[in-house]
Amino acid sequence: MKKYTYTEKQDTRSGFGDGMTELGRTNPKVVTLCADLVGSLKTATFIKENPERFFQTGIAEANMMGIAAGLTIGGYIPYPTTFANFGSGRVYDQIRQSIAYSNKNVKIAVSHAGLTLGEDGATHQILEDIAMMRSMPNMTVINPCDYNQTKAATIALADHVGPAYLRFGRPKVPIFTDPNQKFEIGKAWTVNEGKDVSIFATGHLVWEAIQAGEILAEKGIDAEIINIHTIKPLDTAAILKSVRKTKCVVTCEEHQANGGLGDAVAQTLAQNFLAPQEYVAVNDSFGESGTPEQLMAKYGLSAEAIVEKTLKVIARKS
């Protein structure tokens, strides 16, 4: 098992904010909008340095998505920002018709996705957004795993043409990816090569998968861990290459099992190479209040849960 360590924890949303700061200095066409959550989205530096390229929309997310679509006429690259709940489910029809169907170059950037939003509870803890966004034609869906990767993804999206949904979170989590990484949309990152099981993880679950990999190594299990930061377009070549070798799969995500990364992987396997699969995901349930750690443990989104599912899936290999 390749060793990963960290010296610092940081929130992925700060990766977004610092990515925007860099874009503010390098790309004059990048603009951002926010529905009254500037502090949470960490865009203060971008706004301070480029006040003419920031548009406050007030608490009116539907309108914000339409305005972002309309702003593209000047060649602008709008990043509308809010919480993931309000930037997906609340405005699904605006995104579908005015952004995706109209194929607008809009980068929807949303924070506080999933259970790790914590104390505010179920209303704000969206666990269905990946399913909604990956089912939408033209939409690119990205869920990076740490501060560095989120920053790199934010910057990479400015050079990508077309609608995109960039999902990140609130809590401070380990920084373990390369600060100078080049983010390739749609290209999975092999965290660890192994031969006994393919663990595909996205977002905050990638660090948990690494912890699981270390526990599994002690048990003599050689896990291949792959970070699927881009859920759409899915890197099916990397997925199939890995599963053809390991013959079994565990998918890990801070999202409902229904419609998320796990289902995207299962769809690929069903059509190409059958293999047993286990899901580390939320099982058809809303969230509740608690610290991120308490909630991730309760809903089975932890290194321990990944270990358990891995042992189960290996036993299912014929």
Partner 1 sequence: MTAKELKDKSIELRRKTLEIIYNAKAGHTGGSLSIMDILNVLYNRIMNVSPENFNDANRDRYIQSKGHSVEALYTVLADRGFFPEEDLMTLCQYQSPYIGHPTKGVNGMEQNTGGLGHGLPICCGNALAAKKDNSGVKVYTVLGDGEMAEGSNWEAMMFAAHYKLDNLCAILDYNKLQITGSNAEVMGLEPVAKKLEAFGWAVKEVDGHDYDALIETFESLPFEEGKPSFVIAHTVKGKGVSFMENNIKWHHGVPSAEQMEMAREELLIKEEV
Site string for partner 1, 27-66 (x = CB under 8 A): -------------------------x--x-xx-x-xxxxx
Measured from the CB atom, the residue of 27 and 63 that comes closer to partner 1 is 63
If one counts every other C-beta atom within 10 angstroms of the C-beta of residue 122, the result is 14
| Binding residues for partner 1 restricted to 91-120, rule: CB under 8 A | 93-94, 97-98, 101-102
- Pick the catalytic residue: 8, 22, 49, 61? 61
Site string for partner 1, 167-206 (x = CB under 8 A): ----------------------------------------
Site string for partner 1, 68-87 (x = CB under 8 A): xxxxxxxxx-x---------
Radius of gyration of the chain (CA): 19
Annotated catalytic, 49?
no
As measured in angstroms, the least distance from the Cβ of 102 to partner 1 is: 4
Q: 56 Cβ partners below 8 Å, 6+ apart?
A: 33, 34, 36, 38
- C-alpha pair distances (Å), 108 with each of 140, 144, 188: 10, 14, 21
If one counts every other C-beta atom within 10 angstroms of the C-beta of residue 245, the result is 13
Is 283 near partner 1 (CB under 8 A)?
no
Strand partners, 277: 249
As measured in angstroms, the least distance from the Cβ of 239 to partner 1 is: 33
Torsion over CA of 153, 81, 50 and 27, rounded to 10 degrees?
Answer: 30
As measured in angstroms, the least distance from the Cβ of 81 to partner 1 is: 15
Question: Residues of 190-221 as b/e, b for ≥16 C-beta within 10 angstroms?
Answer: ebbebebbbbbbbbbbbbbbbbbbbbbeeeeb
Measured from the CB atom, the residue of 6 and 55 that comes closer to partner 1 is 55
Hey, what are 258's tokens? 């229904």
Measured from the CB atom, the residue of 69 and 275 that comes closer to partner 1 is 69
Q: At 176, is the secondary structure helix, strand, or coil?
A: coil
Measured from the CB atom, the residue of 80 and 174 that comes closer to partner 1 is 80
Residues with a known catalytic role? 61
Chain residues binding partner 1 by CB under 8 A are: 52, 55, 57-58, 60, 62-76, 78, 93-94, 97-98, 101-102
